[in-house]
Amino acid sequence: MPKSIKKYDICVIGSGAGAGPVIYELSKAGYSVIVLEKGPWYRTNDFTKDEITAVRRSVYTPRLQDEPQVIEDIDSEGKWVSKSNYDTGNDFWNGNCVGGSSNFMSGYFQRLKPADFRLLSEYGEIKGANIVDWPISYEDMEPYYTKVESIVGISGRVVNHSRLEPRSTKDFPYPPLAENIVSSWIDKAGEKVGIETIPMPRAILSKPKDDRNACVYSNYCGSYGCSSNAKGSSRVSLIHDALKTGNCTVIPNAKVYKLETNDKKEVEKAWYYNIENKRIAVEADLFVLAAQAVETSRLLLMSKSKYFPAGLANNSGQVGRNFVFSAGGVGGGEFYPDKMSEADAKAMSVPGVFVNRTIHQFYEYKDPKTGKRTKGGTIDFLFEHANAMVKAIGQKWDDYGNLEYGTGFKKKIKNYFENVKKLKFEVFVDWLPTDNCFISLDDKVKDKWGDPVAKIRIGNHPHDLEVGRYLASKGEKILEAMGAKNIYSGISGAPPSNLQAGGCRFGVDPKTSVLDADCKAHELDNLYITDGSFMPTGGSVTYTWTIYANSFRVADKILERLKK
Could you report the per-residue pLDDT of 237-274, keeping only the tens digit for each? 999 999 999 999 999 999 999 999 998 889 999 999 99
- Across the range 172-192, mean pLDDT stands at 98
- Across the range 208-220, mean pLDDT stands at 94
Q: Please give the CATH number for the structural domain made up of 8-383+420-562.
A: 3.50.50.60
Query: What is the Cα 213 distance to its own chain's centre?
Result: 24
Query: What is the structure's pLDDT at 421?
Result: 95
- Does residue 2 register a pLDDT over 80? no
User: Which of the two residues, 385 and 10, has the higher pLDDT score?
Assistant: 10
- Across the range 199-217, mean pLDDT stands at 97
What percentage of residues in the chain have a pLDDT greater than 70?
99
- Does residue 296 register a pLDDT over 60? yes
Least confident of 50-59, 144-153, 245-254, 491-500: 50-59
pLDDT in tens, 432-455: 999 999 999 999 999 999 999 999
DSSP state letters, 156-210: ------TTPPP-SSSS-SBPPPPB-THHHHHHHHHHHHT---EEPPBSB-SS-BT
* Residue 226 vs residues 96, 251, 381, 489: alpha-carbon distances, Å: 16, 22, 21, 30
Residues 63 and 56: their CA atoms lie apart, in Å, by 13
pLDDT in tens, 115-169: 999 999 999 999 999 999 999 999 999 999 999 999 999 999 999 999 999 999 9
- Does residue 1 register a pLDDT over 80? no
- How would you classify residue 89: left for phi > 0, otherwise alpha for psi between -120 and 50, otherwise beta? left
User: Which of the two residues, 78 and 124, has the higher pLDDT score?
Assistant: 124
Centre a 10 Å sphere on the Cβ of residue 114 and count the other Cβ atoms it contains.
Answer: 15
- Does residue 204 register a pLDDT over 70? yes
Residues 241 and 219: their CA atoms lie apart, in Å, by 28
- Does residue 214 register a pLDDT over 90? yes
Total-model pTM: 0.97
Q: Which helix (H) or strand (E) holds 359?
A: strand 357-359
Report domain extents, the chain. 8-383+420-562
Least confident of 7-16, 39-48, 170-179: 39-48
With bands split at pLDDT 50, 70 and 90, how would you rate the model's confidence at 517?
Answer: very high
What percentage of residues in the chain have a pLDDT greater than 90?
86
Residues 13 and 19: their CA atoms lie apart, in Å, by 8
Question: Is residue 439 classed as helix, strand or coil in its secondary structure?
Answer: strand
